[in-house]
Structure 1
Amino acid sequence: MKDQLYRVLLVDDMEISRRQVRRLNLWNGETNFCIAAEAQNGQEALDLLRQEKFDLLITDIKMPKIDGIELMKETAENGLCPCVVLLSDYEDFEYARMGIQYGAFDYLSKPPEYNSMLGLLKRVEQYLDRKEQEERLVRSLSEKLEEKIGDTFPSAELEQLIEAMKTKQQDITADIDRLCKTVTALYGEDPVKTGAAFRRAMTELLSQLKAHYSWLVNFIDGNRYRNIDFLAPDGDREAGEIFADAVAELYGSIRSFEYGDSEDQLENRICRHVLENVDSEISIEGISKVLYMNRKYISEVFRQKTGELLIDYITRVKMARAARLLCQSSRKTYEIALQLGYRDTEYFSRLFKKHM
């Protein structure tokens, strides 16, 4: 149990809906979350978000004054809360999908069930824990750069560099896994030991930095970068070694960090892919190709993280979509089946009856 619980803001214009969430008995020590405040509409929620710190926003979609989608946009644009979960009825499914596209962590159907909410809170906790780790990593990088190249960069420019890194930390952390996988694939699991291999590793790292962090290269390029590019034959070797040491330390930190909770990101990517492509034929094989990963691996990771088989999750999302289409349109069953990627109408009907 954490020393300090993650704070939840619960938003719904219907008191009975808020009560249903409270009565799940997940907020009084059963999890690392507590409902710290409640709001009846989006405007009231925004006022609270500007006054207090919350870690998780759970909000209904359809509300007076400011709806859940608009609230989520405002929250994201102003950095008011790191994680948003939407509550939706079947008829709000399109809005829920829109919310996922705008960056919502996930959505739950109303009224939420105990196991569904518990599973979601576990995933949110993993996400928030990882986010804290990422922020510590960025702070550590800033300190290492200041320690290693403080004498090379004028203090004013160094402060600008560190400030730029802070404001761009999401860009940095989003590409950390890609960086690590590139180097790991090239040099295996053993640490880089020889000078030649180290130099090749640094070449790859710096090329990745140039490709993905143009803001950093632009800051240095034409000023200090030529003087510290230790790979250049006539470069400043001493300054280059200082910079290389800083990057080498970062590389070590990133490698150990990469093998921590990368499976959490994979789980979120799988869920997003299913939600965003619900109107298409979805298969585990197809997901594995999109993610460039082994199908058995992603299936096992998803099962371990959620307690649910990936194929069952895909079916559950599609049946929720089917329920909405059946209620709100006059289309035939076979038409809806085809829209959702099911060519066998009888099989689709059996699935629907089983899940609904």
Structure 2
Amino acid sequence: MYKLLIADDEDEIRNGLSHYFPWNEVGFEVFGQAANGRDALQFMAQHPVDVLLCDIRMPIMTGIEVARELSQQKSPTTIIFLSGFKEFDYAQQALIYGVKNYILKPTKYSELLNVFTTVKEQLDERQATSMRFPPSPPAAGAGLDEDSALLSDKIIARIKRYVAEHYKDASLEGASQLVHMNPHYISKYFKEKTGENFSDFLLKVKMNKAAELLQEMNYKFYEISELVGYSNAKNFTRAFRKFYGKSPREYRNTE
């Protein structure tokens, strides 16, 4: 989940945005609220956030002043302005400080959804890029491609280790949280780097473990089913037969 700070001097609007929009479904967590720009900056100094949804006109410190300060700090926080004012000069100032998203009051559900869906995609891509190409310089004699390949190997190795250790409950969502990438992106990334779908790899690990357990006579079939993540023994038997060409019982009797 990306962390979101909502700054607006109107309590009703601030609380309404915080509690009545399904942020979690879009990939965000409301990490805090602020009643003015100064409070927003003070909060962010102690609790960094990924996105600031900020009213453009607030007492003490305006949204424009907040954007200017964050720009000077070279902050990576994405800023989205929220305002009932349509004056062109405000939008123009926002562009100077890198603010590209501007939502008008009263806010519409569809507009919030569209803007934050796009921002989430941008954050996912930024995160993936930073993992592929870390800011630290490569070692002497090593090129960027070599450095990127090394990092890629580490990511894949970490995902495979996660599956090997947590095969019972492992999932694409769990893997994506582990390496801080979007599940859809991880699915394509894993396929691209290994030539194998994540779901096929997970199934292979489950079935290999099941075959290993079947060679130990003290485990009953339903117990093995549960140990590799199948609550329904029939589903386990069906998956095992499809993978090995024989049922768990036949496998135990022939191996």
Equivalent position to 1:54, from 49, 52, 59 = 49
Q: Comparing both chains, which one has the higher relative contact order based on Cα–Cα distances under 8 Å and sequence gaps of 6 or more?
A: 1
Superposed structure 1 runs of 4+ greater than 4 Å apart: 250-253
- Tell me the secondary structure at the aligned position of residue 43 of structure 1: helix
**Is contact 1:55-1:83 (8 Å) kept?**
yes
The structure 1 residue matched to 2:113, chosen from 114, 118, 133, is: 118
Residue in structure 2 matching 1:249, options 123, 141, 146? 146
Letter in 2 for 1:122: T
Q: C-alpha distance in 2, partners of 1:91/1:247? A: 45
Q: Secondary structure at the match of 1:90?
A: coil
Q: CA deviation at 1:248?
A: 5.0
TM-score, length basis structure 2: 0.53
TM-score scaled to structure 1, two decimals? 0.39
Are the counterparts in 2 of residues 53 and 81 from structure 1 also a CA contact under 8 Å? Answer: no
Q: Does residue 64 of structure 1 match 2:59?
A: yes
**2:83 paired residue among 81, 88, 100:** 88
**Which aligned pairs between 1:162-311 and structure 2 lie closer than 5 A?**
242=141, 246-247=143-144, 249=146
For the residue of structure 2 that corresponds to 1:57, the secondary structure is strand
CA gap 1:19/1:140 in 2 versus in 1, 3 angstroms: closer
Cα deviation, residue 86, structure 1:
0.3
Deviations 1:293-328 (A, max 9, x none): xxxxxxxxxxxxxxxxxxxxxxxxxxxxxxxxxxxx
Residues 132 and 148 in structure 2, CA contact (< 8 A), matched pair in contact too: no
Would you say how many aligned residue pairs link Structure 1 and Structure 2? 151
| Deviations, residues 18-47 of structure 1 (Å, cap 9, x unaligned) | 1342354222x3221121100011111111
Which of the pair is proportionally richer in helix? Answer: 1
Q: Is the 8 A contact 1:49 1:80 kept in 2?
A: no
CA contact (8 A) 1:13 1:41 kept: yes
Q: Please say which of residues 14-23 and 69-78 is displaced more in the overlay.
A: 14-23
2:129 equivalent in structure 1 = 134
Does 2:15 match 1:19? yes
RMSD over aligned Cα atoms: 2.5
Aligned match of 1:301 = none
Q: 1:43 aligns with which of 38, 42, 48?
A: 38
SS at the partner of 2:123? helix
Match of 2:3? 7
- CA deviations 1:151-188 (Å, max 9, x no partner) are xxxxxxxxxxxxxxxxxxxxxxxxxxxxxxxxxxxxxx
Shift of 1:114: 0.6
Matches of 1:123 and 1:64, distance apart in 2: 29
Letter aligned with residue 146 of structure 2: E
In the alignment, the residues of structure 2 paired with residue 19 and residue 93 of structure 1 have an alpha-carbon distance, to the nearest angstrom, of 28
Change in CA separation of 1:67 and 1:43 when aligned onto 2, cut-off 3 Å:
same
The equivalent residue for 2:26 is: 31
Task: Look up the SS of the partner of 1:13 in the other structure.
Answer: coil
**Residues 133 and 148, structure 2, Cα contact 8 Å, conserved in 1:** no
Q: Which residue matches 1:233?
A: none
SS in 1 for 2:77: coil
CA contact (8 A) 1:9 1:35 kept: yes
How big is each residue's C-alpha offset from its partner over 1:94-118, in whole Å with a ceiling of 9 and x where there is no partner?
3123202320131100121111001
8 Å contact kept, 2:6–2:18: no
Letter aligned with residue 8 of structure 1: L
